[in-house]
Amino acid sequence: MARIIDGKALAAETTGKVAHHARDLSEKGIVPGLAVVLVGEDPASQVYVGAKSKRAKECGFHSVQHDLAADTPENELLELIARLNADPAIHGILVQLPLPEQIDPDRVIQAIAPKKDVDGFHYMNVGMVATGSAGRAFVPCTPAGAMLMIERELGSDLSGKNAVVIGRSNIVGKPMASLLLAANATVTIAHSRTGDLPTLARSADILVAAVGRPEMVRGDWIKPGATVIDVGINRIDAPERGEGKTRLVGDVAYAEAERVAGAITPVPGGVGPMTIAMLMANTLASACRAAGMPAPRL
């Protein structure tokens, strides 16, 4: 049976370190500040945004949440971002995605000051991660969290290892591939036009699934002993739990995969909690940089 990579525990450990460093900073008069912006009333987004604000408070941060109506015009959101960019108490700005259709997400993301872009979505940060300068950039939280889990399992040098990333999104798949490449893995990115995905997946010593299709990756897609990182968050019907009930599953068929893999991340309790922990780490790093100090290694 595979080792379970406990994202909840690793996230708690990481958040604890962030809180510790934040206390040290506070003694110097610097309080890391995070602004989370939610547009609209999507229930899942409300849960995530609430969790981020709560975790920031637990870290001792100055935490502000801006809830805007679903019909907020784009220019109003851009004005809010301009104010947050100029606010010295705010070190990190996160605009929850997806945004309502009247708002162009790219215009909004590029309006965030790169030095406050704790999501790592601005071209400046994307470019630094892609060119191997991740140390100076904000690395997107989900791949950063996944990478920390891989490091804990396999160490920080992945020389000789084959990594397959399923999914090529700008927020998960592509930066994940950049980070694996920077750690010396041999990386293949798969997507919806890839032929014979099961065979490709079976070549992976490290398999990252970031697809958004419940339990797509089956047990027989996995090389025995591989490290499997399941980024997927899919809510599916669970009539066995009662009428109208749902449950959360990943992109990997966990019960099958855990018999084959060497190590695997669960859903829930895997990459999800790590994503929020890395947001705290990025906000702390931003506050340190603003004060002319190096970001602590976590």
Ligand X SMILES: NC(=O)C1=CN([C@@H]2O[C@H](COP(=O)(O)OP(=O)(O)OC[C@H]3O[C@@H](n4cnc5c(N)ncnc54)[C@H](OP(=O)(O)O)[C@@H]3O)[C@@H](O)[C@H]2O)C=CC1
Ligand Y SMILES: Nc1nc(=O)c2c([nH]1)NC[C@@H]1CN(c3ccc(C(=O)N[C@@H](CCC(=O)O)C(=O)O)cc3)C=[N+]21
CB count within 10 Å of CB 174 equals 20
Binding residues for NADP(+): 167-169, 233
4 binds ligand Y (CB under 6 A): no
DSSP 138-183: PPPHHHHHHHHHHHHHH-S--TT-EEEEE---TTTHHHHHHHHHHT
Closest C-alpha to 38, from 96, 122, 121 = 96
Number of amino acids touching ligand Y (CB under 6 A)? 17
In one letter, which amino acid is 116? K
Judge whether 119 counts as a catalytic residue: yes
Q: Which 3 state secondary structure label does DSSP give 46?
A: helix
Chain positions contacting ligand X, by CB under 6 A? 142, 166-169, 171-173, 190-194, 197, 210-213, 231-234, 271-272, 275
In one letter, which amino acid is 198? P
Closest chain position to ligand Y (CB): 272
Interacting stretch for ligand Y, rule CB under 6 A, among 23-31, 148-156, 212-220, 266-274?
A: 266-274
145 binds ligand Y (CB under 6 A): no
Structure letter (DSSP) for residue 252: B
How remote is the C-alpha of 243 from its chain's centroid? 32
Judge whether 251 counts as a catalytic residue: no
Catalytic residue chosen out of the listed positions 116, 117, 119, 161? 119
Q: Which of 137, 273, 282, 288 binds ligand Y (CB under 6 A)?
A: 273
Q: How far is the CB of 152 from ligand Y (least distance, A)?
A: 17
Which residue do the tokens 């191997």 mark?
132
In one letter, which amino acid is 85? N
Interacting stretch for ligand Y, rule CB under 6 A, among 69-77, 90-98, 182-190, 237-245?
A: 90-98
Taking the least distance from each CB to ligand X, the nearer of 103 and 210 is 210
Q: Which of 268, 289, 295, 296 binds ligand Y (CB under 6 A)?
A: 268
User: For residues 132 and 187, what is the distance between their CA atoms, to the nearest angstrom?
Assistant: 14
Judge whether 28 counts as a catalytic residue: no
47 binds ligand Y (CB under 6 A): yes
Closest chain position to ligand X (CB): 169
DSSP 198-222: HHHHTT-SEEEE-S--TT-B-GGGS
What is the contact surface with ligand Y in residues (CB under 6 A)? Answer: 47-48, 94-97, 119, 141, 233, 248, 267-269, 272-273, 275-276
- By annotation, the residues acting in catalysis are 52, 96, 119
